[in-house]
Chains A and B, each alone.
Chain A
Amino acid sequence: MTNDDRLTTADKDIDICVDSLFFTYPSGVEALRQVSLHIAAGESVALIGQNGAGKTTLVKHLNGLLKPTAGSVRIADWDTRHRSVAQLARQVGYVFQNPDDQLFKPTVLAEVMFGPQNLGWEAGRVEDQARAALRMVELSQAANRHPYDLSPGERKRVALAAILAMDTPVIVLDEPTTGQDFAGVRLVGLIVDALIAQGKTVITITHDIDFCAEHFERVVVMAGGRLLIDGSSRVVLSQAEILAQTYVEPPQLMRLASRLGMEWMPLTVDEFIKQLPGS
């Protein structure tokens, strides 16, 4: 373990390189089998696939919560095997699937300030970042409430704010739309778009394929601990037969477009409308 927290590369150039990664849980369940994946700085990538495909296991390698059984995971020039979770947390923010795995402070604001405090920032900057993150998730009003007095959907947004406040170059969102209502899903989508516009690398795990189509440029499909297919959202999400192998269906608009015999698969309603006859 080295004490040097600095990467030799600038934040904006942080790429992620997963090379022949194998991971076996202590129980003997082989969760990842030879997974290789390169994610360039600033990419937006959605990991999809059936339950138990290995998606969460894979992203837990990105911030060092899990270490490879074989193969390697590199964040810029850091090998995660030789770095602590605390060091990696400066580069890769991970929002858990279940917010209750993450939240433990008595107020929402304290919860969101916890991460930045650990980065050693001065107090003023910590609070500014935390309040800005709460504004982004539309929970400024809840700053002094107890996280457990909020609804599960709101707690999930507190967990998101806690990571946003750390301003990491890479953000991993594990099922960000779960428990969100219609307005909440739209808000999460706007946040993802904003993070991508800022040049951050955004990686999500999601079962919400419509959300995936509308906000992520690249889709990686997993099944049985392996990568099944990796490419642009438009190409990958239209492969109904391959997706079905891992219990996923194309988004609503692609299913509709394909039934209507459209040649170009739409990612958004606007793209769909443009292809209607007479348009």
Chain B
Amino acid sequence: MISLQHVTYTYPGTTSPALRDISLTIPAGQFCALVGANGAGKSTLAYTLAGFVPHFYHGKLSGEVTLAGKPTRLTPLSELVLSVGLIFQNPFNQISGTKFTVREEIAFGLENLGMPRPEMQARVAATMALLGIEDLADRSPLALSGGQMQRVAIASVLAMRPKVLVLDEPTSQLDPIGSREVFTAVRALMAEENMIVVMIEHKLEWVAVFADRVVALAEGTIIADGKAAEILTDETLIGKGIGQTRYTLAARQARQIGRWLDGQPLPVTLEQAVEGFHRASMKAEG
């Protein structure tokens, strides 16, 4: 379990807090998506969950962040990184730049843990298979396309089997089916390892399908916290930069002209939209 109690954080050299009185508890085995406009505090919250705030970014932190009951500010980053994996938005920042092949890059973190060679080889192979990058094993990590590099960056963190996985827009450069594969892989590993997954993601269709919980942020505070079906259909949140899927938008417009049943919740996934529009058309046909 990871827990924030009344956390307020201000970056060094700034006066306005990036996070304001955040309280949030995420249990093991939960996939939690962070949504909100740019500048709402999503990345800062992700860095705080991963211990990079305050260990790496310094600044002024009040309140308490605990991981498995232990305050992260009292735990050295070198220890935190063993249990928390952070995947950056830009994969170029994740790749070590010191390894000649993708296979070596993914093994890098495990080498540092001193993992025995056979176990390491098996772990690297399994992780490459999970992310569908076996064919890149002998390529240079620096000579990949943006999306390929993003998969390698994700694999290098997943290979460590962290207890908490924090992903900052992990699929920003991935093709659509590739994005879904990465979400599926993360979800599968989460179930297997009872991980906590916290993900910043603008692709709301996949947030709706994969996340157990959606936390919406604006101006450094939590403005909504609940299931995707509630948060992503809340009309009051649209103006606050949360956005909506085309399914929700289409159903909302259809409802205005009586083509979506009043009692039917607005959809956030394809399946919910198909069901809702079927019901409305059956009613229309009497």
Q: Are A273 and B148 in contact (CB under 8 A)?
A: no
Q: Are A182 and B270 in contact (CB under 8 A)?
A: no
Q: Does A10 belong to the interface (CB within 8 Å)?
A: no
Q: Chain B residues near A278 (CB, 8 Å)?
A: 258-259, 281, 284
Q: Are A154 and B175 in contact (CB under 8 A)?
A: no
Q: Are B178 and A51 in contact (CB under 8 A)?
A: yes
| Residue from B148, B202, B253 in contact with A52 in the complex, judged by beta carbons closer than 8 Å | B148
Q: Chain A residues near B143 (CB, 8 Å)?
A: 25, 27, 29
Q: Does A184 belong to the interface (CB within 8 Å)?
A: yes
Pick out which of these stretches binds chain A: B109-117, B153-161, B166-174, B219-227.
B166-174
Pick out which of these stretches binds chain B: A87-95, A188-196, A248-256.
A248-256
| Residue from B36, B90, B148, B259 in contact with A276 in the complex, judged by beta carbons closer than 8 Å | B259
Whole-angstrom CA separation of A48 from B75 in the bound complex = 45
Q: Chain B residues near A181 (CB, 8 Å)?
A: 36-38, 202, 241, 243
Pick out which of these stretches binds chain A: B50-58, B119-127, B271-279.
B271-279
Q: Does B82 belong to the interface (CB within 8 Å)?
A: no
Whose C-beta in chain B lies nearest to the C-beta of A250?
A: B176
Pick out which of these stretches binds chain B: A36-44, A108-116, A140-148, A172-180.
A172-180
Q: Are B241 and A269 in contact (CB under 8 A)?
A: no
Minimal beta-carbon separation of B286 from chain A (angstroms): 11
Q: Does A34 belong to the interface (CB within 8 Å)?
A: no
Q: Are A252 and B243 in contact (CB under 8 A)?
A: no
Whole-angstrom CA separation of A259 from B269 in the bound complex = 13
Q: How many residues of B contact A (CB 8 A)?
A: 47
Q: How many residues of A contact B (CB 8 A)?
A: 47
Q: Are B174 and A182 in contact (CB under 8 A)?
A: no
Minimal beta-carbon separation of A49 from chain B (angstroms): 7
Q: Does B177 belong to the interface (CB within 8 Å)?
A: yes
Q: Does A235 belong to the interface (CB within 8 Å)?
A: no
Q: Are B270 and A252 in contact (CB under 8 A)?
A: yes
Q: Chain B residues near A25 (CB, 8 Å)?
A: 143
Minimal beta-carbon separation of B103 from chain A (angstroms): 17
Given contacts A51-B147, A182-B243, A252-B245, contact A152 B89 (CB under 8 A): yes
Q: Does B98 belong to the interface (CB within 8 Å)?
A: no
| Residue from B257, B258, B277 in contact with A260 in the complex, judged by beta carbons closer than 8 Å | B277
Whose C-beta in chain A lies nearest to the C-beta of B37?
A: A181
Q: Chain B residues near A178 (CB, 8 Å)?
A: 172-173
Q: Which of A34-75 contact B (CB under 8 A)?
A: 49-52, 56
Minimal beta-carbon separation of A71 from chain B (angstroms): 21
Q: Chain A residues near B278 (CB, 8 Å)?
A: 260
Whose C-beta in chain B lies nearest to the C-beta of A25?
A: B143
Q: Are B259 and A248 in contact (CB under 8 A)?
A: no
Q: Which of B229-286 contact A (CB under 8 A)?
A: 241-243, 245-247, 249-250, 253-254, 257-259, 270, 273-274, 277-278, 280-281, 284-285
Q: Does A277 belong to the interface (CB within 8 Å)?
A: yes
Whose C-beta in chain A lies nearest to the C-beta of B42?
A: A181
Whose C-beta in chain A lies nearest to the C-beta of B93?
A: A100
Q: Are A256 and B172 in contact (CB under 8 A)?
A: no
Whole-angstrom CA separation of A248 from B254 in the bound complex = 27
Q: Are B175 and A256 in contact (CB under 8 A)?
A: no
Whole-angstrom CA separation of A259 from B273 in the bound complex = 10
Q: Does B100 belong to the interface (CB within 8 Å)?
A: no
Q: Chain B residues near A179 (CB, 8 Å)?
A: 38, 89, 169, 172
Q: Are A253 and B246 in contact (CB under 8 A)?
A: yes
In this complex, the member of A98, A154, A207, A255 whose beta carbon has the largest number of chain B beta carbons within 10 angstroms is A207
Q: Chain A residues near B257 (CB, 8 Å)?
A: 273, 279
| Residue from A183, A255, A276 in contact with B277 in the complex, judged by beta carbons closer than 8 Å | A276
Given contacts A27-B143, A252-B245, contact A98 B202 (CB under 8 A): no
Q: Chain A residues near B202 (CB, 8 Å)?
A: 180-182, 185
Q: Are A153 and B38 in contact (CB under 8 A)?
A: yes
Q: Are B173 and A97 in contact (CB under 8 A)?
A: yes
* Chain A interface (Cβ < 8 Å from any Cβ of B): 25, 27, 29, 49-52, 56, 97-98, 100, 151-154, 175, 178-185, 207, 209-210, 244, 246-249, 251-253, 255-256, 259-260, 269-270, 272-273, 276-279
Some 20 contacts from A to B, beta carbons below 8 A apart, are: A29-B143, A98-B90, A98-B92, A98-B146, A154-B38, A175-B173, A181-B36, A181-B241, A182-B241, A244-B177, A247-B177, A249-B177, A252-B247, A255-B270, A256-B247, A270-B253, A272-B250, A273-B259, A277-B281, A278-B281
